[in-house]
Each structure stands twice: as structure tokens, then as C-alpha cells.
């Protein structure tokens, strides 16, 4: 079964840091680009960051540029999002999603992990 499972969410104070992980299984992880998408409470989907299969290209939304860093470990089928200088408006469910180089769409999604930034 193709699966993505996020972890690492929680409650953090403004200015703090958190590292999210996404464990992939059921497919050749090293052949796919990977992505993070977030959804604030009551809001729509917001693309956060993407990384190509070999990590040679990384793309990051302006809203988190300079604070969030995407990375991956192909040997362990894992995707990461290092989040620093967290703000209240970073509060959201964070989804990891598999990308397709042929379609540019996100075809497999995890269930998400909640990040709450509050004092």
C-alpha cells in the first residue's frame, strides 16, 4: 500500500522551532519529488515547499522563505520540514504529498500533522 505518514507536530511558542517528518512506504521514494502543503484552521490549502527526487532543486513559498527548510533522506524514505522562527500564522495542519514529474500534480497525500504556534 502506498502510504505517507507525517509526524512531529505539536504546540510550540512563537519564535520556536519544530521539525516535521514524513515516512513514505509502498513506492520508490527516491524516484519522486515531494512536497509540503499546509491548511490553517478554517482556511484553504497553501503550498509550502517542494524538493526534487535527488534534492537538486528546492522551491519554497515566499510566506516561509528563510524560516522553513525542506530536506529528504532517500536511504530511509523520509521527508522533513525544519521550521524555525515560528509565528502564530504558521498554525496549520501540515500535509506531505508525493509529486509527479509527468503531471506536476500531487497524487498521494498523508493525513497531516497539526502544528500550533501559541504562547
113 counts as binding another protein under rule CB under 8 A: no
- The CA distance from 104 to 37, in Å, is 14
Q: How many residues can be counted in the chain?
A: 119
Binding mask 49-68 for another protein (x = CB under 8 A): -x--------x--x------
73 counts as binding another protein under rule CB under 8 A: no
103 counts as binding another protein under rule CB under 8 A: yes
- The CA distance from 13 to 31, in Å, is 36
27 counts as binding another protein under rule CB under 8 A: no
Q: Are 92 and 67 in contact (CB under 8 A)?
A: no
93 counts as binding another protein under rule CB under 8 A: yes
- The CA distance from 51 to 34, in Å, is 5
Query: Which positions touch another protein (CB under 8 A)?
Result: 35, 37, 39, 44-47, 50, 59, 62, 93, 95, 97, 100, 103-107, 109-112
Amino acid at each position: 500500500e502506498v502510504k505517507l505518514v507525517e509526524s512531529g507536530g505539536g504546540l510550540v511558542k512563537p519564535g520556536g522551532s519544530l521539525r516535521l517528518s514524513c515516512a513514505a512506504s509502498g513506492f520508490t521514494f527516491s524516484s519522486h519529488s515531494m512536497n509540503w502543503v499546509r491548511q490553517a484552521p478554517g482556511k484553504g490549502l497553501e503550498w509550502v515547499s517542494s524538493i526534487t527526487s535527488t534534492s537538486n532543486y528546492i522551491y519554497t513559498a515566499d510566506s516561509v522563505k528563510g524560516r522553513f527548510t525542506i530536506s529528504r533522506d532517500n536511504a530511509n524514505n523520509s521527508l522533513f520540514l525544519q521550521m524555525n522562527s515560528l509565528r502564530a500564522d504558521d498554525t496549520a495542519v501540515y500535509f506531505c504529498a508525493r509529486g509527479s514529474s509527468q503531471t506536476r500534480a500531487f497524487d498521494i497525500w498523508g493525513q497531516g500533522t497539526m502544528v500550533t504556534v501559541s504562547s
